[in-house]
Amino acid sequence: MKITVLVDNNTLIDRYFFAEPGLSLFIEDGDVRLLFDVGYSDIFLINARKMNINLLDLDYVALSHGHLDHTWGLDPLIRYYTEAAIENQVLRRPLIIGHPEIFVSVMKDRFGEFGSLISEEKLSKNFKLSLSCEPQKLSERLIYLGEIPRLNEFESNLTFGRKQGSTEPDTVPEDSALVYQSEKGLVIITGCSHAGICNIIDYAIKVCEDDRIFDIVGGLHLQNPSKKQLQGTVDFLKEYKPLHLHACHCTDLHSKIVLSQVVPVEEVGVGLTLSYV
């Protein structure tokens, strides 16, 4: 499997790509090609073009959750495929993978809508959808995890606005991740880890029946975390001993420094390519 970072908050030094506070990863596993999240704007398309990556030939677009920094690229994706069809270009429309609540509107008083601006109904007019709480197999060794059980009491306590029709704070129940079963252990691929990175790892271990953690790639949602959450995460990773940690997007510098005491924290930015066997 190969992962190429199309969107992140940072770019690699001397690599001339665009960055934004969002995430999009291009993943190849054999003949299977997919996007994991689509960032905030159209820069995933621009960066892919600069990297000579064809996004008109995808099997899947897997979405980690509904927030703006992971789904607002859906509008330019629809435009991209529509324009390609008008120009009679060769294309293959991907299947959209996600949780059933990804397209439920999310509002916050201070800045309004920050969930997906594209509804499930609108998106289904352009792509087929497969929305499920259960794990979905995307290739022989790559799995979309579906809804993550939240069992660790030190994480998953943050809420973000309210979903349409609810008076309760939103706990982002749709937050999910991918797991790849490499020969050296599991590669956990996250969007924001609203479910809690340790909960995600626990569920990936259960689904794959393998407790070897080779790498963790993506956002950990450790932004000024509580001491309890950060220490709980440190203790958890110290026990499982991942061989690599490519923390990015929504992981602050302080958290990376603390986590580096127990696991090798490695640089991430747009243009980075990681390969696994």
Q: Which domains does the chain have, with CATH numbers?
A: 2-275 (3.60.15.10)
Sign of CA dihedral 116, 122, 127, 131: positive
Burial of 164 (0-12, 13-18, 19+ CB in 10 A): exposed
177-182 sheet: strands from edge to edge = 136-137, 142-144, 177-182, 185-190, 213-219, 244-248
pTM of the predicted structure, to 2 decimals: 0.97
- 102-155 pLDDT, tens digit per residue, is 999 999 888 889 999 999 999 999 999 999 999 999 999 999 999 999 999 999
Residue whose token pair is 């291009």: 26
* CA angle (125, 127, 131) in 5-degree steps: 105
CA distance 246 to 260: 11
pLDDT at 108: 86
CB 63 within 8 A of CB 25: no
pLDDT at 156: 66
> Which amino acid is it at 29?
D
pLDDT at 82: 98
Mean pLDDT of successive 10-residue segments in the chain (277 residues)?
98 96 98 98 98 98 98 98 98 98 91 93 98 98 98 86 89 97 98 97 98 98 95 97 98 98 98 98
- 20-48 pLDDT, tens digit per residue, is 999 999 999 999 999 999 999 999 999 99
